[in-house]
Chain A
């Protein structure tokens, strides 16, 4: 039998009767599988030198960048490139990018998971880690854009139900918590498995595992409750994820500015989010595969599948791009015409066309070729896609502000043509460093792949073939 590729076995059994799932946990095969899988995955759970060095490096960068933030806090937003006309810059672009990337948690674990794609099982937790990290920092990024962050409570004290800002704050918070639960809940059986299998790890970690595993004993009823809770969350996360990015798009779309004044901004943002999120997951997958030596679980097959997903979401996003630019480009209303000319042939043309071609069209075409859906080529493609995704948010946020409907007379040109300052870039880097720190902690202190689910799949696969 083809024992070489466990993932293929998982696919063969993509419909598992629930009854069978209940009995399998008592079998000897399942226990053996738990041993072997947990050995592979828990090997990486440690506070080793590499982890400490990497975290030390991130902390140093973070501190340097936080110094830049203290300058901004002391001097005010004048130290940024933000002015009267262009009042949203890289901070808001960063925010939209973070919210977008965090949406992948919903795409992978929910849309693909609920539709019965079993290959997403090993990837789901990685996707949730990315969702948690980006959603957690997205809120902080907004604060960095505030001239008076001490007035943040005012959003809640004086918040208006009519303002998309209140909706955004609410929905980002909620999405973060649900993502956190979606990361944590499927991990409970793993924590119970791991808590006795972590010799030589710090005592606090083992103790934390014991606490967090909420007395998990592989009881049938516990599985039942856990599955029910997971189903609630997986359904809840769909409207939440749509809400989080639709509301983010409303921050722009409810403003009558050429370039933002669009009725399809909601789906345009969501489809774009899938692209950047999938690229982020592929990068993380590649990193864990190589550095955690998890080739067996994050196989070429998984890369091939997620590569196809990236093609699909890119085509979807391309469709919305076509709509977003073709329709106003055909009508060319005065204000739109000025904005579109700047994008297509003016000041932002090089950035715009590079992002559209190298970040969307060319990657989707390249990924159509099977040899390019191997881990390394996909890493390269995904890095380009992710970088382009960030720049795309910049294109969405910044250029439309240069052409308000009311004439901007009597302003110095540097107030209209925005250029981020070093301080701004440093503060934005701080946010990215924070995301990396959260991803590192979640993936290094906890099992990065679902031990119990993989063991279950493997045991079932063996069962059937036996």
Chain B
């Protein structure tokens, strides 16, 4: 019993400590900046992403109509949010905490930056600082290029990373690489992350039953897991590496949930049959009224 009480108290204390704790962002992440300048385009994209991913909890920015949860999600237009640096916002969206989910595999870095550009539109005093490209600290001054090759014979993907500086290029070695495929919500990691070899190569094996679109196309994305060391360079390629998936459209066949034109035959027949039978009998009765009238008219003519 005493243990139980102690455990309860411990959990309660832990809970209060957790909620009271500030959401600290590692110092080296605070200064991170978007690689592109925020404009109306990025804000529009950001608004769309916000509506799809954030609005259900955070509400409309500036309206203070966030969902009343504990701890409160808060309004992103509020001072508390806007005093974060771009890097801090980015970090918090990527990692998440408590009920705030991590968007690491849901939104790409560029999408998160677009989201931040939208949120910053509620901050009149905000002036954006743009960073060019995260350049690798391991290969200073070099631009890292990633190429991706699909070997359909053995269902493997070969990825090579090279650091290009002026006219010389060198293989990026021992860099941890992650291969992902785009799904409906977020990205699905294929296999475990692997390190590039001495030639800058890494090979991933794709599952044979990877579902693609109707033609079997999938969007593969190669990224470094350690962006700080190797930069944010990535490679997105659509290849026909998946199984063609021809999921029948739910609105193609006749169904209860479809339009009137695509209603199930039995329900159309039942409805129309009922209407014709009922109104047929009504018409029959009206014709009988006509008969009554004719008989009446004839007999009155006969009397005269």
Contact = CB atoms under 8 A, between A and B. Distances in A.
B256 A214 contact: no
Interface of A: 158-162, 166-167, 170, 174, 177-178, 181, 185, 188, 214-217, 219, 221-222, 225-226, 228-229, 232-233, 236, 240, 243, 409-410
Contact of B295 (A167, A170, A225, A228): A225
A410 B281 CA distance: 54
Contact of B285 (A158, A221, A233, A409): A233
A216 B282 contact: no
B68 interface: yes
A410 B294 CA distance: 70
Nearest to B297: A215
A222 B271 contact: no
Contacts, number: 83
Nearest to B260: A160
B263 A162 contact: yes
A158 B293 contact: no
A158 B260 contact: yes
B279 interface: yes
Given A161-B268, A162-B256, A233-B285, A225 B296 contact: no
A170 B282 CA distance: 14
Given A225-B292, A228-B288, A217 B282 contact: no
A359 to B, nearest CB: 33
29 contacts: A158-B260, A161-B260, A161-B267, A161-B271, A162-B258, A162-B263, A162-B267, A166-B271, A167-B271, A174-B279, A177-B282, A185-B285, A214-B289, A214-B292, A215-B293, A215-B297, A215-B300, A222-B296, A225-B292, A228-B288, A229-B285, A229-B288, A229-B289, A232-B284, A236-B281, A236-B282, A240-B278, A243-B274, A409-B67
B16 interface: no
Contacts of A240: 278
Given A185-B285, A215-B295, 19 more contacts: A159-B260, A161-B260, A161-B268, A162-B257, A162-B267, A166-B271, A185-B289, A188-B292, A214-B292, A214-B293, A214-B296, A216-B296, A217-B299, A225-B292, A225-B295, A226-B288, A229-B284, A229-B289, A232-B284
Interface string B141-154: 00000000000000
Interface in B237-287: 256-260, 263-264, 267-268, 271, 274-275, 278-279, 281-282, 284-285
Contacts of A170: 271, 275
If over half of B's interface residues share one DSSP class (helix, strand or loop), that class is named, otherwise mixed; here it is: helix
Contacts of A177: 282
Contact of A225 (B65, B271, B291, B300): B291
Interface of B: 65, 67-68, 256-260, 263-264, 267-268, 271, 274-275, 278-279, 281-282, 284-285, 288-289, 291-297, 299-300
Contacts of A221: 295
Contacts of A214: 289, 292-293, 296
A232 B279 CA distance: 12
A217 B299 CA distance: 8
A59 B60 CA distance: 49
A222 B278 contact: no
Contact of A232 (B285, B296, B299): B285
B256 to A, nearest CB: 5
B268 A219 contact: no
A215 B260 CA distance: 45
Contacts of A232: 281, 284-285
B290 to A, nearest CB: 8
Nearest to B287: A229
Pick the 4 closest A-B CB pairs, nearest first: A215-B296, A229-B288, A161-B263, A214-B293
B115 to A, nearest CB: 22
Contacts of A217: 295-296, 299-300
B138 to A, nearest CB: 48
A177 B288 CA distance: 16
Contacts of B289: 185, 214, 229
A411 to B, nearest CB: 10
A385 to B, nearest CB: 31
A161 B273 CA distance: 12
Contact of A162 (B264, B285, B296): B264
Contacts of B299: 217, 219
A226 B292 CA distance: 8
B278 A236 contact: yes
Contacts of A236: 278, 281-282
